[in-house]
Amino acid sequence: MAAAKNHVRVLVHSTGSTMTWALNYYKAYKFELSQKPADDMILDDVVDLAAGGKIVTFTDVLQAMLDASDAGFSEIMIVAHGSPKGLTMHLGPGIGSADKERLPILTALAPVVTELDRIRAITDSNRQLAEWIKLLRSLAGKPIANATWGAIASDEFDGITSIAAAERILFRISPTLGAPALQMPAVLTLLRLRNRVVAKKFKRVEIRACNLGQDSDGMKALREFLGVAVLVAPMVKTFYARVDPEIFVKDSDYKRRLARNVPWRLKSKPDPLHSRTYISDDLYLSMTDKDATPLSVLHLLQPGFQACWGLGVKAKNYAMIQLLVENNIDLKKKSGYRSGSFYVGGLDPEAGRTPTNPPPTSANGKAYLLSSEPEYRQMIVSNP
């Protein structure tokens, strides 16, 4: 049965703590904003590509896309490490990364692999040899994407008297990816899977990988390789984390913690550079009440250094922590969070930026954007 529009399967390359947090983040909240409200995603299923410590390549991603299509999904989301050039992931053993330098070459090679398989299926040997020679003549010396097919001397064609000889020449003249590409079994496996994925005609692939949306060429290379109608990705860094809240009973203890860690909030000042503070409600600055006011604050310094403090009338009272999670993170109230640790994730316009590559102005000077913020969608772009 086909999944309804905007119902997606999420494929997570869960390497390291950051992507392990991402895996748990999407399992908990089961919802993700896109560039446009009409494209917001309901996450029906979250797949851990690296389950059991598996070394993941883009070949595995392609197989997972085929599995998703067989399960009825026409839209998917891929969560992985990335850069403006593409995904920081090997295409397959010995092939290199899934980026804009290699993907256009492979996209151009894909129909040749289809033709190779068609010719090999011809049972009449004379006809098959004629088809091999026709293919070699069409490719010899031809430029493709970021590479060129090798030349074949005219007298060399006269010496092609066997199918094996024709295949050897095809493999020899193929563009190189460290070695002639079509001599590499991993390339042939990758491209056969790629051709099957293209035949599925995915409507959309949404990427959550750092900075991929900064480079339209990188996005185009990935979109054309996958043969999808639309590719969507953030133009800034992604972040994920696990937060372990600390709850105070005494107002004085809580206020001292805030004074040490988020003093700008006590003075009604904006967040400093590379820092964000989220509060649970408008009562945050009511610190002069005689009775302890239940409050909470989540302070994001950088991925891996999160802090969450709450104040309640008694220990282990997570009421305001629940409000913070629901108001800022769990927009669809799907996680069922009640107490203990929780996961946080979003987009960071400031991380890794320089004076020559400043944060997007549409971020309004904010770091660590959660999906509850209006600037979140502005950090996401599509191709085309």
Q: Taking the alpha carbons of 106, 109, 110, 116 in that order, is the dihedral positive or negative?
A: negative
Tell whether the model's pLDDT for residue 255 goes beyond 90.
Answer: no
Distance CA 369, CA 360 (A): 13
Question: What percent of the chain clears pLDDT 90, i.e. is strictly above it?
Answer: 76
> How many residues appear in the chain?
384
- pLDDT tens digit sequence for 88-137: 999 999 899 999 999 999 999 999 999 999 999 999 999 999 999 999 99
Say whether both 248 and 199 belong to one domain.
Answer: no
Say whether both 271 and 282 belong to one domain.
Answer: yes
- The kind and range of the H/E element at 178 are none
Residue span of the structural domain in which 157 resides:
103-176
Stretch among 49-53, 273-277, 301-305 having the lowest mean pLDDT: 301-305
Tell whether the model's pLDDT for residue 181 goes beyond 60.
Answer: yes
Tell whether the model's pLDDT for residue 232 goes beyond 60.
Answer: yes
Say whether both 214 and 312 belong to one domain.
Answer: no
Distance CA 217, CA 383 (A): 9
How far from 29 is each of 118, 285, 330, CA to CA, in Å?
Answer: 46, 29, 6
Name the nearest CA neighbour of 198 among 216, 232, 222, 174.
222
Name the nearest CA neighbour of 372 among 337, 336, 335, 327.
327
For residue 313, what pLDDT is reported?
73
Say whether both 261 and 340 belong to one domain.
Answer: yes
Cβ burial 197-208 (10 Å sphere, 16+ → b, else e): bbebebebbbbb
Domain boundary among 144, 176, 208: 176
Domain boundary among 216, 238, 260: 238
Indicate the pTM of the whole model.
Answer: 0.93
For residue 97, what pLDDT is reported?
94
- pLDDT tens digit sequence for 297-323: 899 987 778 899 998 778 888 988 998
Say whether both 137 and 93 belong to one domain.
Answer: no
Tokens of 35: 């560039």
For 228, phi then psi, to 5°, come to -95, 155
Question: What are the start-end ranges of the H helices in the chain?
Answer: 16-29, 58-70, 103-120, 125-139, 154-158, 163-173, 185-200, 216-226, 251-261, 263-266, 319-328
Say whether both 249 and 131 belong to one domain.
Answer: no
Whether residue 187 is contained in a domain is answered as: no
Say whether both 295 and 375 belong to one domain.
Answer: yes
Say whether both 203 and 171 belong to one domain.
Answer: no
Whether residue 188 is contained in a domain is answered as: no
Whether residue 182 is contained in a domain is answered as: no
Going by pLDDT thresholds of 50, 70 and 90, the confidence category of residue 286 is very low
Say whether both 124 and 75 belong to one domain.
Answer: no
Q: Which residue has the tokens 């896109």?
A: 34
Whether residue 2 is contained in a domain is answered as: no
Say whether both 111 and 139 belong to one domain.
Answer: yes
Say whether both 268 and 335 belong to one domain.
Answer: yes
Say whether both 351 and 248 belong to one domain.
Answer: yes
Q: Which residue has the tokens 């988020």?
A: 262
Going by pLDDT thresholds of 50, 70 and 90, the confidence category of residue 287 is very low
Task: Name the domain count of the chain.
Answer: 3
Whether residue 156 is contained in a domain is answered as: yes
- First and final CA of the chain: distance in angstroms? 29
Whether residue 189 is contained in a domain is answered as: no
